[in-house]
Amino acid sequence: MPQQVPRLAAVFAVAVIGLFVARSLLVPDTFGDLGHYRAAAIDTIVAHPKEYAGHQECTMCHRPIAEQRAASNHRGVRCEVCHGPAAAHVANPLEIKPAVPRERDLCVLCHAYSPSRPTGFPQIDSVTHNPRMPCAGCHEPHAPEPPVTPRECSACHGQIANQLAVSHHAELNCGTCHEAPKEHRDNPRAVRPTKPAERSFCGTCHAADARSSERIPRIDLRSHGQPYVCWQCHYPHYPEAR
């Protein structure tokens, strides 16, 4: 017999014995009692304090909110997704209050634009979508809907509309001088209307040779007020000739 065979056999025997020693030292007692896992793990898990109550628990005391949510776009979003674990609150409602998440971060977690979201899922760009205001200021978190925005310019630009209404320009509409895209009413800071940029714009009514009502006072567009734009001297929403 070549002498390396007993040497290899000895190494093999040591490895097998080592394996059994390690197994008896390292494998937990109850391993394998119920399956390929540590049976005692069940007791450890059961012993964890209960943190989540489940949304059914909330209905008893918060029925209006629960019914509102169940009928809303957020019917799939459970109370504790937003308010955090609330089992302690259910056990002791007056002493322990769940978090009331008013920061924008919470909503952005689900509603920020992402190509990985399903098509049609309502998404916004939180940088341009009405920043500096909490989402709940415009959307009811328990029954969210895109709010209906006012259609009239005067609803948001009341002061300008009031001034215009009693000015020499009372007969002009906002649309005469501003082109306001529909989206401006929904997302006013991100989508802006146009503003007149040149003297010639006012000249369409006020230039000496303009084809407008004769009643409208005329100026010599080439010399009057040069080199300034008209609204440096005349406030366009309340123009005065003095």
Classify the phi-psi angles of 87: left when phi > 0, otherwise alpha if psi is within -120 to 50, otherwise beta.
alpha
Residues 121-150 that bind ligand HEC (CB under 6 A): 121-122, 124, 126, 129-130, 133, 135-139, 141-142, 144-147, 149-150
187 touches ligand HEC (CB under 6 A):
yes
Q: Which is nearer to ligand HEC, 5 or 94 (CB)?
A: 94
Contact 208, 218 (CB under 8 A): yes
155 touches ligand HEC (CB under 6 A):
yes
Q: φ and ψ at 219, to 5 degrees? A: -135, 165
Contact 71, 143 (CB under 8 A): yes
Q: Which is nearer to ligand HEC, 44 or 116 (CB)?
A: 116
Taking CB under 6 A as the rule, which mask of x and - marks residues 49-88 in contact with ligand HEC?
----x-x-xx-xxx--xx--x---xx-xx-xxxxx--x--
CA quadruple 107, 103, 79, 75: dihedral sign: negative
Taking CB under 6 A as the rule, which mask of x and - marks residues 30-49 in contact with ligand HEC?
--------------------
CA distance 133 to 59: 29
Residues 192-211 that bind ligand HEC (CB under 6 A): 192-193, 195-196, 199, 201-206
| Nearest residue relative to ligand HEC (C-beta) | 225
CA distance 19 to 13: 10
117 touches ligand HEC (CB under 6 A):
no
Q: Which is nearer to ligand HEC, 39 or 124 (CB)?
A: 124
Burial, 141: exposed, middle or buried (Cβ in 10 Å; 0-12, 13-18, 19+)? buried
Residue 88 CB, nearest approach to ligand HEC (Å): 10
